[in-house]
Amino acid sequence: MKKNIAATVADLIADTVKANGCELWDVEYVKEGADWHLRVTIDREGGVGIDDCERVHRAIDPLLDEADPIEGSYYLEVSSPGIERELKTDAHLSASAGALCEAKLFAPLNGTKSVTGRLTDFGPDAVTLTPDGGEPVVLPRKAIARLSTLYED
């Protein structure tokens, strides 16, 4: 149900986010404590600032009010994916090709539950991380609990 809400909201707001100079990175609908949060994450070339978040928030709020895709109350949050961003979709992976990434695994692989390296390839079933000076490590996507970019100086 929550994924359906996130997908519905993403479809509803994507064009408006784009019209405001940003790309829609992610939409999450999550419960924290007693409250529900609709998290809209946006990105743009050169990074996202507070003015971008405010502009997009003001643009999508009336769309959400009119379409009313969520029963009950929730908090609307619009933010940047940050420097160390979670990679969930093929579009995220494509945008992060060559970036230093960390994959946290559900179960140990060769004695470790974490693999760090450059994102050198991906497909529908696997992601390849290549450690600097090391051999590529092919990770089944279903084995990855979380994949994110890492900050580099």
Domain assignment of residue 85, yes or no: no
Domain assignment of residue 84, yes or no: no
Tell me which amino acid residue 21 is. Answer: G
Which residues lie across from 77 on neighbouring strands? 39
Q: Which of 79, 104, 134 is the last residue of a domain?
A: 79
DSSP 99: -
Mark whether 74 and 124 lie in a shared domain. no
| Structure confidence at residue 153 (pLDDT) | 81
Residue 72: domain span: 2-79
| Structure confidence at residue 2 (pLDDT) | 60
- pTM of the predicted model, to two decimals? 0.85
Q: Which of 48, 79, 110 is the last residue of a domain?
A: 79
Domain holding 142: CATH number? Answer: 2.30.30.100
| Structure confidence at residue 3 (pLDDT) | 63
Q: Which residues of 65-77 are buried (b: 16+ CB within 10 A; e: fewer)?
A: eeeebbeeebeee
Q: Which residues of 83-102 are buried (b: 16+ CB within 10 A; e: fewer)?
A: eebebeeeebbebbeeebbe
Mark whether 75 and 99 lie in a shared domain. no
pLDDT lower than 70: segments of the chain: 1-3
Mark whether 66 and 47 lie in a shared domain. yes
Domain holding 70: CATH number? Answer: 3.30.300.70
**CB of 45 within 8 A of CB of 27?**
no
Q: Which of 79, 104, 125 is the last residue of a domain?
A: 79
DSSP-derived pairing of the beta strands 35-43 and 144-149 = unpaired
